[in-house]
Structure 1
Amino acid sequence: MASLSPARIAAADVLSRVRRRNARARDLLRVSAPVARLTPADRALATRFTLGAVRASGAIDALLDAHLRRSHLEPRMRDALRISALELLWLATPVPVALSQGVELVRRVSPRGAGLANAVLHRVAEEDVPALAQARKRVESGSCTTSDIALVAALPAWLAGELVVSLGIESACHMALSAMEAPGAYVAGNACLHDDDEAERLLSAAGLIPRATCLPGCLTLFSAAGLAKSGLVDAADVVPADMAAQVVAWLASPAPSTRMLEVGQGRGTKSLLLECCAQRRGGLAQLSAVELEAFKVAVSRARMERAGLGAFVTCTAFDGCRLGEQDLPQEIAGSFDSVLVDAPCSGTGTLRRHPEIAWSLQESAVHVEGRSLPELQLAMFQAASERVGAGGTLAYATCSELREEDESIVAAFLASPKGARFSLVSPRVTPAFAALPPEAQGLVATMIGDDGMLRTSRADSADLPLDGHFLALLMCAV
């Protein structure tokens, strides 16, 4: 009988809690006592197993069910089998190890289920692993079907189809080949509290092994498991944010001492990034931010105080779709030098970081009767445009890979009466781009399409794992 690895036991326990509580896996990993007791290496492995099993859950379940005479499995058995199937299909764990550990993981929760687990996992290894390998070869060649992309990327067929339409077959294939890789671990040093060397020293002292990237203030962590416990995030010494989000914040950041409006503040991460970028460009701006949900506004306000930005950032509970009205709160009245619309979206560019999205997002979440996501995005975009002063800039950003939430929204806005005074500009011609060091300029340039709009996933690679963010910059006529 094989000895079960602590990482697999911890991952199975977290998966069971995710299912019972309908909670986010990453949130439960942070508070799991069994995970906390693991060595750093095992903690990273447990995280990989947990997030990967959630990310591929629908694809794995379809394969498991195809090998069962009846599709019902005791829930804890399914949790265990998901981990082992993930290892066989996407993590390249040696087959004997994945099989023996999988059987023992099932035996732990259902002793009588060990035989069934052995039979099912052998069929996954003998039938599904070769089928996935063949599909991957077709995707690598670019001569593939949408079904191949869905299998390789562990996505619902409808979403794979949407990505092909949105990105084109070549980019969709590239996305699929890296879709199941672990997300990058990035933070931004808080330039309002520390210079870059100080931020790096704080991270090093916490054992997180930081390394500077070509983007100012952006660090990648080679041992990120202890970030939450370090206290650096709670104290706002650093800001956890994918490098892609930091690129968008840099290009959309306000010039020093100007007035900026941020629409869709959330919990304040982008606000912190915007001000840190402004500080690195010469000085802080006056940032007014709006967010519909009052509890998020309270979180943001507290974060700004901890970050040393209480005098520079205001946080207001307000509906961004009403920014075109005349009677506005004082903090967001009048015109602004720059406006960023960080629009609510499907989140399809952050599937590696937020694994629940892939199989919880329904087609109806993008196409619904009444006000769809694209309709909400356009309404917010149009309302926010009325707050841009003459000669000012208007930025539209999402973390979606879907064209109907990105390029199509920009086109619809420019074709509308409210878009008549705006024109699309390439990030290449902006002062923010000019302020980047040459290596960062080269990286950002690879993200900009022929249409002048930016998709960070164009630069995604195994060496530089990035979320998929979209940005369009527009200039208001004088």
Structure 2
Amino acid sequence: MVVSEGETGQGSRPKRKTPATIEVEGKPGLEARRTAARLLGAVIDAHTPLDALTDNEHGHPQYLALEPRDRALVRAILASALRHRCTIEKLIGRRLDRPLPPNAHSLSHILHVGAAQILFLDVPDSAAVDLAVTQAKTDPRAARFSNLVNAVLRNIARRKHELAKALETTQDAPAWFAGRLKEIYGREETDTILKAHRVEAPIDFTVKSDPALWAERLGGRVLPNGSVRLDRLSASVPDLPGFSEGAWWVQDAAATLPARLLGDIEGLWVADLCAAPGGKTAQLALEGAKVTAVDLSASRLKRLKSNLDRLSLSAEIVRADVLKWEPERKFDAVLLDAPCSSTGTVRRHPDVPWTKTPEDVAKLADLQRRLLAHALTLIHPSGMVVFSNCSLDPSEGEELVQELLAKRSDVAVDPILPEELPGAEHFVTAEGFLRTTPALTGAEGQLDNIDGFFAARLRLR
């Protein structure tokens, strides 16, 4: 019988560890699974971003205590558990005679971590089941359900053939997110986007020069926009050829497009607002602009400076609240890649739909409105502002810009022309905006399989 976690006697005094208990707790792989379940709970229950939990310097203490190999396993488990959360939930639910109690969080996370390994990772089924059962037995909140964990996971392992049908009939996204996408893009395109979110994104590199050479050295291919793409990494990024000498940096091909909308910026004064970690700053500096990179976060600016130093590129770095920043001079151009819901990057950050809410999207859209209004005060009369973000939601993009234009007669769109973005022409809308999604594909020789992005170019009248 399934009971709530509140009935498991959590308030009792902890028992003294016996030699048998110590032996179980030292079981190889157990701590990695415990960490995965703990971090999954932090994402689902507390809406904590996964990047913060798995940061190799400031991440969760339980994660930082692991060896590098176990950290990699935890990341793989979490990525699979989040990408396929609704599918896993469905397959677990079919094995229960009644739903788990709403507050059986620990038990639920143990089951999801075990199922993710069985269904999506190269982990022996027996190991995934055994470690999940052991974890349940040693968790006071789940100990009474260890037999249930064993039965459910063994049944899932025996009936893996059900996975294909479950994937076909399930949308792996929370209801609010799937519903919002359908409102915007319709059912067919939403299905394509959500299916794309199940697949890990390729790794794109922006190279300082000679993309063909670096495609050969890295074992990738050159994309129509000049980026180099690897479908999968053969080593960690710092160990790849060209990293130490600063020949390239990691940057999704979609993220390279907004900076290109500034045109020829050699010798111009350009402000990069909300600049960290600095991929677009590096682009601007490489094109010969006199760049001022502005961000509020000291730690993120430290990372930006480190990236620029490795690339042998330079920019003025300013720590400031962009909304309050009043520089002494006006700029020829401003690039504002604004903080957003990041719903265009779910392939890389599968926690996003589970850590964000509709209220978050609305709050971020309001922040973007204020940032954009301030950015327009930083250019001289003939200057331009490129506003961009990695959200799929038009309330953070098209609708936001249209609202601004309706209120400000002194601001106009400078329409993006398809010929400005060779290979990415199909991402230019009739209104002269840039809109990409993981679902949009082009003809042969055109850019596709990229993150969701929006960009608009504005000028003062």
Task: Give CA deviations for 1:266-318 in whole Å, capped at 9, x if unaligned.
Answer: 22222113333x2xxxxx111122212333334323433332222xx112122
| SS in structure 2 at match of 1:450 | coil
Q: How many angstroms apart in 2 are the aligned matches of 1:175 and 1:261? A: 33
- 1:343 is aligned with what amino acid? A
| SS in structure 1 at match of 2:54 | helix
Residues 110-149 of structure 1 mapped to structure 2, 5 A cutoff: 110=136, 115-121=147-153, 133=165, 136=168
Contact 1:258 1:337 in 2 (8 A): yes
Contact 2:438 2:449 in 1 (8 A): no
Contact 1:48 1:182 in 2 (8 A): no
Q: How many angstroms apart in 2 are the aligned matches of 1:413 and 1:255? A: 26
Contact 1:178 1:461 in 2 (8 A): no
Residues 53-68 of structure 1 mapped to structure 2, 5 A cutoff: 53-57=81-85, 60=88, 64=92, 67=96
Contact 1:29 1:47 in 2 (8 A): no
Q: Which has the higher helix share?
A: 1
User: In the alignment, which of 379, 389, 399 is matched to residue 398 of structure 1?
Assistant: 389
Distance 1:220 1:351, change over 3 A: same
Tell me the TM-score normalised to structure 1 length.
Answer: 0.72
Residues 42-441 of structure 1 mapped to structure 2, 5 A cutoff: 47-57=75-85, 60=88, 64=92, 67=96, 70-71=100-101, 75=106, 78-86=108-116, 91=120, 100-110=126-136, 115-121=147-153, 133=165, 136=168, 151-152=170-171, 154-189=172-207, 191=208, 195-196=210-211, 199-200=214-215, 204=217, 209-220=219-230, 222-230=232-240, 236-252=246-262, 254-276=264-286, 278=287, 284-310=288-314, 313-322=315-324, 328-330=326-328, 333-334=329-330, 336-367=331-362, 372-417=363-408, 420-428=410-418, 430=420, 433=421, 441=422
Name stretches of at least 5 consecutive residues in structure 1 with no aligned partner.
Answer: 1-5, 138-150, 279-283, 434-440
Pairwise CA distance, 1:475 = 4.0
Pairwise CA distance, 1:254 = 5.0
Tell me the TM-score normalised to structure 2 length.
Answer: 0.74
Pairwise CA distance, 1:466 = 2.0
Task: Give CA deviations for 1:133-186 in whole Å, capped at 9, x if unaligned.
Answer: 37836xxxxxxxxxxxxx42x211111111122233332121022221112112
Q: How many angstroms apart in 1 are the aligned matches of 2:339 and 2:69? A: 37
Distance 1:225 1:79, change over 3 A: farther
Pairwise CA distance, 1:235 = 6.1
| SS in structure 1 at match of 2:78 | helix
Contact 1:14 1:50 in 2 (8 A): no
Distance 1:264 1:350, change over 3 A: same
Distance 1:453 1:98, change over 3 A: farther
Q: How many angstroms apart in 2 are the aligned matches of 1:109 and 1:156? A: 27
1:12 corresponds in structure 2 to 33
2:16 corresponds in structure 1 to none
Q: Share of identical aligned residues, percent? A: 22
Pairwise CA distance, 1:355 = 2.3
- 1:188 is aligned with what amino acid? T
Larger radius of gyration: 2
Task: Give CA deviations for 1:196-239 in whole Å, capped at 9, x if unaligned.
Answer: 466457xx4xxx53333222243325325421445965764421
Equivalenced residues, count: 411
Q: How many angstroms apart in 1 are the aligned matches of 2:223 and 2:176? A: 36
Contact 1:260 1:337 in 2 (8 A): yes
Cα RMSD between the aligned structures? 4.0
| SS in structure 2 at match of 1:346 | coil
Contact 1:456 1:467 in 2 (8 A): yes
| SS in structure 2 at match of 1:425 | coil
> Is the deviation greater in 80-89 or in 23-32?
23-32
Task: Give CA deviations for 1:330-355 in whole Å, capped at 9, x if unaligned.
Answer: 3xx22x22221111111111112122
Task: Give CA deviations for 1:408-452 in whole Å, capped at 9, x if unaligned.
Answer: 1110111122x534224024254xx3xxxxxxx23x122222332
Distance 1:216 1:459, change over 3 A: farther
Q: How many angstroms apart in 2 are the aligned matches of 1:10 and 1:237? A: 38
Distance 1:456 1:98, change over 3 A: farther
Distance 1:395 1:7, change over 3 A: farther
Q: How many angstroms apart in 1 are the aligned matches of 2:418 and 2:448? A: 21
Distance 1:237 1:225, change over 3 A: same
1:437 corresponds in structure 2 to none
| SS in structure 1 at match of 2:339 | coil
Distance 1:215 1:27, change over 3 A: farther
| SS in structure 1 at match of 2:375 | helix
